[in-house]
Amino acid sequence: MDTKILIIGACGQIGTELTKTLRATYGVENVIASDIRKLNNDVVNDGIFEVVNALDYNQIEHLIEQYNITDVYLMAALLSATAEKNPAFAWDLNMNSLFHVLNLAKAGKIQKIFWPSSIAVFGPTTPRHNTPQYTIMEPTTVYGISKQCGERWCEYYYAQYGVDVRSIRYPGLISWSTEAGGGTTDYAVDIYHKAITEGTFTSFLGKNSELPMMYMDDAIKATIEIMQAPKENIKIRSSYNLAAMSFTPKQIGEEIKKHYPNFTLDYEPDFRQKIADSWPASIDDTSAREDWGWKNDYDLENMTVEMFKNLKKHIYN
């Protein structure tokens, strides 16, 4: 049966890039993008788009039957900083959207699921450097708790019902094409915009807050690679650690100064500092590299070149 894809949350930070790449990979006619509202013109206008509420089981089921969907990428979620401001809704959205998709797969209506986890599943008691795939996980954010729970349910639905759900613990993701979306790592997106527009930036994380990060192109590549990997290669059914680089606000500032020598950076840590302090500084992703051939293409230096090239070409031209 040909791959027919439904993306739920297609207008989000990952969803917009993922939709573009999936349409290019599988053909526009084989990718149904969906979101709660028409939030991104390219996603809505460059292919098939449907308005769907990720919390409405019947709406999702109807789309799956209408388009003979085989694969679902569930990208709808509230990220860490936003979730702290609205814990009840964050839990509802992050968990019940997952249950809907898992149960549709259990009922035989979906063949394969991608569900994003995050390094936010780790907490202040987790070893911070080169954090292993299996370790202490005591997340202290609503977002991290929901992602840790989601991983357990993914593993349970695979073991008990044979649901082919695959997952990645994304680090902080950096993209030129979408505005920062309520994440604790999103200072690393906004800093590039402000380097161009204002020549200065105030970081809401402190100078030495080292966090695992990744360029969006690498994250999209990993997402499609794990979904295309032979089933027998996916040995971890909770979620795979994934890494590319780690840096501090000071280090990204220094990289930006290679392009904008007069750029200035200062620091005013806010409530997000406590979230960042609870996360690892770096991640061991050996399992992803061994099981399904993961390899990152971008580091801080070439990502910064790409970010400024694309921002100046597409946004600040």
Applying CB under 6 A, the residues found at the interface with ligand VAH are: 79-80, 118-120, 143, 170-173, 183-185
Nearer to ligand VAH, 80 or 209 (CB): 80
Nearer to ligand VAH, 49 or 143 (CB): 143
Is 67 annotated in the active site? Answer: no
Helices (H), the chain: 13-26, 41-45, 57-66, 80-85, 87-91, 97-106, 142-161, 187-197, 216-228, 249-257, 272-277, 286-292, 300-310
Work out how close the CB of 3 gets to ligand VAH at its nearest, in angstroms, rounded to a whole number: 27
Give the relative orientation of helices 97-106 and 57-66 as an angle to the nearest 10 degrees.
50
In this structure, are residues 157 and 105 in contact, taking their beta carbons and an 8 Å threshold?
yes
Work out how close the CB of 142 gets to ligand VAH at its nearest, in angstroms, rounded to a whole number: 11
Q: What residues have CB less than 8 Å from 260, skipping those under 6 apart?
A: 195, 196, 199
Residue of closest CB approach to ligand VAH: 183
Work out how close the CB of 172 gets to ligand VAH at its nearest, in angstroms, rounded to a whole number: 5
Nearer to ligand VAH, 33 or 79 (CB): 79
CA dist 171 and 207 (Å) reads: 19
In this structure, are residues 117 and 167 in contact, taking their beta carbons and an 8 Å threshold?
yes
Selection from 168, 199, 162, 194 nearest residue 179 by Cα = 194
CB-CB neighbours of 310 under 10 Å: 14
What would the two tokens of residue 192 be?
């590039």
Nearer to ligand VAH, 143 or 263 (CB): 143
Work out how close the CB of 145 gets to ligand VAH at its nearest, in angstroms, rounded to a whole number: 13
Catalytic residue from among 67, 134, 143, 170: 143
Three-state secondary-structure class, residue 131: strand
Nearer to ligand VAH, 16 or 30 (CB): 16
Work out how close the CB of 94 gets to ligand VAH at its nearest, in angstroms, rounded to a whole number: 11
CA dist 262 and 121 (Å) reads: 38
Work out how close the CB of 271 gets to ligand VAH at its nearest, in angstroms, rounded to a whole number: 13
Nearer to ligand VAH, 40 or 118 (CB): 118
H or E element, residue 210: none
Q: What residues have CB less than 8 Å from 288, skipping those under 6 apart?
A: 168, 222, 226, 240, 241, 242, 294
CB-CB neighbours of 49 under 10 Å: 20
* Residues acting as catalytic residues: 143
